[in-house]
Chains A and B, each alone.
Chain A
Amino acid sequence: MFFPISGAHINPVVLAATGFFVGMLGGFFGVGGSFLAGPALFFFGVPMNFVVGTDLAHITGKSITATREHSKLGHIDFKLGFLMMIGTIPGVELGAQAIEYFKRHANVDRVVAIAFIGVLVSVAVFMAWESWRTLRLSKRERSAKSNAIGGQRSGKGDVSALAGFAKRIHILELAPMVGLPKSGIKRISLWAILVVAFIGGVFSGFLGGGAGYIRMPALVYLLGIPTHLAVGTDLFEVIISGGYGTVTHALKGNVDILIALVMHTGGVIGAQLGAVLTNYIKGPRIRLAFVPLPLAGAALILYTLITGRHMG
């Protein structure tokens, strides 16, 4: 089927099936799913600037469903989500402006593809290393309060080998300080939250999607948010970054809304299924299971980049 806005030929059934798969994984891991949706769209023959904008639109729609599910389960720290908005929106705009720059001055497909591969491989390697370390901790060490994320046991076996790093950020006295009672954090510098949000926003605006692959680990490891709350809050944040990103990229001519709408039809069912699954699996195991997915996305981009072959 021909999609006239981006000029791509894609089978709508394959597109909806991709949406379903991405939606399920996104709902489960608490990320928008752009680590697979973006590479898949590029593989289908969509130009990279349209991949970024279209993926943002698709992720926005899908996150609404997934966020509702997580909200019902009490997995969203709304105070944190609203504070993060202040950093997210300027970050998204900066990312979108960078896309415009590369559209004018360089080969945007190649630049974004290489950046995408670098980010996805780095995220996978880091999460594999951290999850492996956490799972190797003895039961006694795991039950020790010093390794619990968020300063308290979340009741879902949520520990991290890097919990000490988040604690160092919690004691950083850089005014204004805020409390996040839902996440079990008594005091944290607002600047730490804004920096995490801004970086997530830049990735979202430049690579598309919600950038959950950056924001979710940052929430867990840097801010010390329990994994199940990081998952829900990240999805809430994806609505903000995705919504703003969709509009700003649409103004710049980077959104094929028809592709986003078709892909989203499959994503709705997948997102619901994925969100329910998070209730049955513990934090470190969720993070370890996440590892192969960014690598699969990176491999897909690399294949498309090297061979120049598109599925469409």
Chain B
Amino acid sequence: MPKRSSPDQRPIKIAFFLLLKLIIYAGFVVAYYFLVLLFLRDWLKQTFDAHRVIYASIVLPLIIGQAILLDAIIVGLRKLGAAREKK
């Protein structure tokens, strides 16, 4: 039968998993900053200055794509946390 944590331990466990999720998420975000800000910055600036229509057509997919990607990461982390908590 799986071990259940006592009521006193539960808030500590929840806080621990929340912290763990935030650390993993922060790692993803830092990597993402480097990817987007360093590699895309100059190209986006040039596109903004020279090809406004192309720029306008990529901004929406960029922000929606990021929303879906980060959402998937969060959901994945949440499932991971739930699975660990069950154990």
- Chain A interface (Cβ < 8 Å from any Cβ of B): 1, 4-5, 12, 16, 57-58, 60-62, 64-65, 68, 243, 246-247, 250-251, 253, 255, 257-258, 260-262, 264-265, 268-269, 272
Contacts and interface: CB of A to CB of B under 8 A. Distances in A.
Contacts of A257: 44, 55, 58-59, 62-63
List 3 A-B pairs, minimum CB-CB distance, nearest first: A250-B56, A61-B63, A61-B67
Nearest to B37: A258
B71 A268 contact: yes
Given A16-B29, A257-B44, A269-B74, A264 B63 contact: yes
Contact of A243 (B48, B52, B58, B60): B60
Given A243-B60, A269-B25, A65 B67 contact: yes
Nearest to A58: B63
A244 to B, nearest CB: 9
Nearest to B21: A269
B1 interface: no
B37 A262 contact: yes
Listed residue (A5, A243, A272) with the most chain B CB atoms within 10 angstroms of its CB: A5
Nearest to B33: A12
Listed residue (B40, B57, B64) with the most chain A CB atoms within 10 angstroms of its CB: B64
B79 interface: no
Contacts of B53: 251
Contacts of A58: 63
B13 interface: no
Listed residue (B40, B41, B57) with the most chain A CB atoms within 10 angstroms of its CB: B41
Given A250-B56, A265-B29, A265-B33, 7 more contacts: A1-B37, A12-B33, A64-B68, A255-B59, A257-B62, A258-B41, A268-B74
A20 to B, nearest CB: 10
